[in-house]
Structure 1
Amino acid sequence: MFGPASLQRLSLPEEFTLLSYGENGRVPNSAQTAAGCAAAELGELALRRRLLVRPSKTRKMGLEIYRLRGEIELRSSTSDLSNTPGTGLTWADDLLSALRARTATLASRPLTVTRWLRERGREALALHTAALTERGVLRHTPGALLTRTRHHPDPVLRTALLNGVRAVRAEQVPLDEHMLFLCDLLDGAGLTKDFGLTLTRPQRLERARGIGAAGALPETLRDTSTVLGFSLPGREGRTITIGD
């Protein structure tokens, strides 16, 4: 049975994980879902102003060219990152520590999003799947001889999340920072196709440019969200063009 914990506010990676599991208790593509979960973790930290992703941008004939080799940049209000107050989320604080350590090992080389997603993906998906299962948001069904383990999402909470995305797409409610990241991640993972909420590539690029509702959101967050969404495996090409 799903418990009252289902009604608690979920973090961005928890929302992404919950929506990734279908009614059959499985994810459509484990590698893509794992990368998306790791990207959602970075997104949560970006929303909390703990990091941003700097895309490689150039201009050509009045167009902005995004080369999707986004670099992860840790942010802090203090010069000593080790003394920065915690986020209040154990996994997020652990992740920040891991990112600091990983950045230190690279010395002068930047830590790119694609590299981090490859390293972190499986661990991120397992972590948040286990956490949601423990809280009753996912219901675990053990695998048998010829069947795999499944995790069935809380239908009420899943529907509520989807309705939130639909409301944003229909412009019934404003697009806020959190929904920007969630929508970009769902689009990047191809999940919106299953939900009948797909945006075309030009529409996604307009959102990245800040056209329409996204124009009220900070450019640094739009850049971070755009790169995270387009960095998931299975996307066609690694370069996008955004005009003025």
Structure 2
Amino acid sequence: MFGPAALQRLSLPEEFTLLSYGENGRVPNPAQTAAGCAAAELGELALRRRLLVRPRKTRKLGVEIYQLRGEIELTPSTPGTPNAPGTSNMPGTGLTWADDVLSALWARTATLAPRPLTVTRWLRERGRAALALHTGALIERGALRHRPGTLLTRTRHHPDPTLRAALLNGVRAVRAERVPLDEHLLFLCDLLDGAGLTKDFGLTLTRPQRLERARGIGAAAALPETLRDTSTVLGFSLPARQGRTITLGD
């Protein structure tokens, strides 16, 4: 059972990873979960104002269309760019893994220049490592209970029921409009919707509802457009959704 210290807010990829493991100790789709975990890492960095995802948007007959080839744009805010190659005495994010990912992103964008680093490319490269990293971290914190496999069974990771219920209650409260939608929950909800996990939890939004959230209608109205764009592209960039175009105005 978790005490107050252990119940402090997890990072976005830790939350997504924890909710991805079912009560049977398995994830429904390992490849999609890995991509979702890497997308959640980008989301955490976006929440910390270290990057944005720029979607390709066009307007046709007054309708805004997302092409969903999101490009990662790193956003240094001060001289001596945090985590940029070649700088020193750089302030960190406060999370070791996030600093490592940010440094890797700077290095990756440098090797691709002048071409942009796309979200889908990064998720393919980072996904498996991201899932292993955050699964391991959750096991160390006691949020996942590791059960080794045998000759006849596979390894399982059972989520702590108290913490899992607390996370789901937060999503339910937002869906029921009992609490306002904040930036963190925007990203978590978009990722859960993108992975299809909300179907398992009975929290599915319709496609028009998801598109309204992307446009900033209703609960998302007060949230910055750049964050809504980033969250929307991340949610729709998981493997099951790759290659699709979303029309904002259905």
Q: Deviations over 1:68-95 (max 9, x none)?
A: 1000000111243235410000000000
Alpha-carbon distance in 1 for matches of 2:56, 2:170: 32
Name the residue aligned to 1:239.
245
Contact persistence 2:212–2:248 (CA under 8 A): yes
Corresponding residue number in structure 2 for 1:20:
20
Conservation of the 8 A alpha-carbon contact between 2:63 and 2:248: yes
Q: What's the counterpart of residue 64 of structure 1?
A: 64
- Asked if 2 retains the 8 angstrom alpha-carbon contact of 1:50 and 1:74, the reply is yes
* Structure 1 CA distance for aligned equivalents of residues 152 and 225 of structure 2: 49
**Structure 2: where are the runs of 5+ without partners?**
none
Aligned residues: 243
The equivalent residue for 1:223 is 229
Question: 2:30 maps to which residue?
Answer: 30
Question: Structure 2 length as normaliser, TM-score?
Answer: 0.94
Moved more, 81-90 or 40-49: 81-90
Which residue identity is paired with 2:190?
A: D
| Cα distance in 2, alignment partners of residues 77 and 192 from structure 1 | 35
RMSD across aligned C-alpha pairs, in angstroms?
1.3
* TM-score calculated relative to the size of structure 1: 0.97
Read off the aligned partner of 1:223 and give its amino acid letter: D
The one-letter amino acid paired with 1:52 is L
Verify: 1:153 aligned to 2:159, yes or no. Answer: yes
Distance in 2 separating the partners of 1:124 and 1:141: 20
Alignment partners' CA distance in 1, 2:216 and 2:9: 27
Report runs of 4+ in structure 1 exceeding 3 Å deviation: 2-6
For the residue of structure 2 that corresponds to 1:151, the secondary structure is strand
Unaligned runs of 5+ in 1: none
Structure 1 partner of 2:188: 182
Aligned equivalent of 1:52: 52
Preserved contact between residue 57 and residue 67 of structure 1 (Cα < 8 Å): yes
Cα distance in 2 between the residues matched to 1:169 and 1:9: 19
Q: What code does the residue aligned with 2:30 have? A: S
Q: Judging changes above 3 Å, is the alpha-carbon distance between structure 1 residues 78 and 108 closer, same or farther for their aligned structure 2 residues?
A: same
Q: Distance in 1 between matches of 2:109 and 2:228?
A: 23
1:101 aligns with 2:107: yes
